């Protein structure tokens, strides 16, 4: 069966959060989901606490399993969904680069330097003044390369993403970013960003969030428009998928309402954000084949490309 690799999904960022909703990705065949464990509001202690609680819940769950390496995903028990983790901002490092290795040891396999707005590492996609990756951000990328953590440009500014691709010695990804040429949104990436990512051997992960796919339209058809554009632009070997599904949707929508300074009107103008349901996402391969995609291309985009990056980076 074809591997399905979801490069980013979100449980509630609460220590008592239940991991059971991840079983909504259940399907015949091997499945991997990267679960977020923090972004700009979290400290190192916060994200470490979340990791320990999530790991314990996953280890105890009959339908889930922790993925320590790529082989655990590609050759492990396909009846149990494989899980590792990601960070959506470098703030949980508490400014200490040694924490990159510490988080890697706990299963964090990708990290964004910045989330929407500038921080010590670089600029975000909502910043009007884009100065790119900082000196500390460049040190951060080097530390991630050394530790086995993949640099991720989603939510970063265009210049920060391009700078990451320039300095990284291993593949860079956009874990959950759609194509700006298909739908104009500051969270979507430019053709130049996608090309630079592909040049590192990386992967652009088209995601299922309504406001990034179109006017709050989380449909398979909208996702395929972005996928086919990306494939035409950078080639079949550099495109993947993610849901960015928010099992913590109520918390996230409250965060947007409570902190309007952190999210501009591009997040709010179409009403409450809508997400593609996991039950819809797992049918994507059938829809691609129905459109005439070759089986090898479906395998590459659904999971093969992200698995290749993991194999050379983790």
CATH number, domain at 134?
A: 3.20.20.140
Which pLDDT band holds residue 259 (cuts at 50, 70, 90)? confident
Residue 262: the pLDDT is 79
What is the pLDDT, as a whole number, of residue 217? Answer: 93
pLDDT computed for residue 80 by the predictor:
97
- The phi-psi region of residue 245 (left if phi > 0; otherwise alpha if psi is between -120 and 50; otherwise beta) is beta
Which of these, 30, 28, 41, 32, lies nearest to 89 by C-alpha position? 41
Task: Identify the pLDDT of residue 156.
Answer: 98
Q: What is the mean pLDDT of residues 275-286?
A: 98
- What's residue 120's pLDDT? 98
pLDDT at 261: 78
Q: How many Å apart are CA 30 and CA 82, to the nearest integer? A: 8
Output the CA torsion sign for 299, 300, 303, 304: positive
Among 72-76, 276-280, 291-295, 302-306, whose mean pLDDT is lowest? 72-76
Query: What's the rounded mean pLDDT across residues 226-249?
Result: 97
* Arithmetic mean of pLDDT over the chain: 97
Residue-level pLDDT at 273: 96
- How far apart CA 72 and CA 112 sit, in angstroms, is 24
Dihedral sign from CA coordinates of 298, 299, 302, 305: negative
Identify the pLDDT of residue 76.
87
Q: Model confidence at 258, in pLDDT bands (50, 70, 90)?
A: confident
Domain containing residue 51: 4-313
Could you tell me the two tokens for 235?
Answer: 């080639």
- Residue 231: predicted pLDDT: 98
The domain tally of the chain equals 1
| C-alpha separations of 162 from 3, 127, 156, 167, 234 in Å | 29, 15, 10, 9, 15
Cβ(193)–Cβ(162) below 8 Å: yes
- pLDDT-derived band of residue 305, with 50, 70 and 90 as boundaries? very high
Calculate mean pLDDT across residues 111-137: 98
Q: What percent of the chain has pLDDT over 70?
A: 100
Q: For residues 187 and 296, what is the distance between their CA atoms, to the nearest angstrom?
A: 29
Task: Give 45-71 pLDDT, tens digit per residue.
Answer: 999 999 999 999 999 999 999 999 999
Q: What does the pLDDT look like over 131-169, one tens digit per residue?
A: 999 999 999 999 999 999 999 999 999 999 999 999 999
**pLDDT tens sequence across 177-236:** 999 999 999 999 999 999 999 999 999 999 999 999 999 999 999 999 999 999 999 999
pTM over 0.85: yes
Report pLDDT for 260: 81
């Amino acid at each position: 069966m074809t591997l399905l690799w979801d490069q980013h999904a979100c449980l509630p960022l609460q220590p008592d959060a239940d991991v059971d909703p991840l079983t909504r990705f259940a399907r015949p065949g091997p499945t991997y989901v990267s679960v977020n464990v923090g972004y700009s509001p979290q400290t190192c202690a916060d994200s470490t606490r979340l990791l320990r609680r999530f790991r314990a819940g996953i280890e105890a769950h009959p339908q889930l399993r922790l993925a320590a390496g790529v082989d655990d995903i590609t050759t492990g028990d396909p009846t149990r969904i494989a899980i590792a983790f990601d960070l959506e901002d470098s703030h949980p490092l508490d400014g200490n680069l040694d924490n990159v290795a510490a988080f890697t040891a706990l299963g964090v396999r990708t990290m964004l330097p910045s989330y929407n707005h500038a921080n010590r590492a670089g600029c975000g996609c909502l910043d009007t003044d884009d100065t790119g990756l900082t000196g500390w951000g460049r040190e951060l990328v080097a530390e991630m390369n050394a530790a086995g953590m993949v640099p991720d440009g989603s939510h970063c500014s265009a210049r920060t993403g391009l700078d990451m691709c320039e300095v990284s010695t291993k593949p860079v990804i956009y874990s959950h970013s759609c194509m700006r040429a298909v739908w104009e949104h500051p969270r979507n990436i430019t053709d130049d960003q996608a090309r630079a990512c592909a040049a590192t051997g990386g992967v652009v992960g088209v995601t299922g969030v309504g406001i990034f796919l179109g006017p709050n339209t989380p449909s398979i058809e909208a996702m395929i428009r972005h996928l086919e554009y990306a494939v035409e632009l950078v080639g079949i070997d550099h495109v993947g998928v993610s849901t960015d599904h928010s099992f913590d949707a109520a918390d996230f929508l409250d965060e947007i309402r409570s902190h309007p300074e952190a999210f501009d009107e591009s997040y709010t103008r179409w009403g409450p954000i809508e997400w593609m349901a996991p039950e819809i996402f797992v049918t994507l391969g059938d829809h691609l084949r129905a459109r005439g995609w070759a089986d090898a291309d479906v395998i590459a985009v659904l999971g093969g490309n992200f698995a290749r990056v993991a194999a050379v980076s983790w």
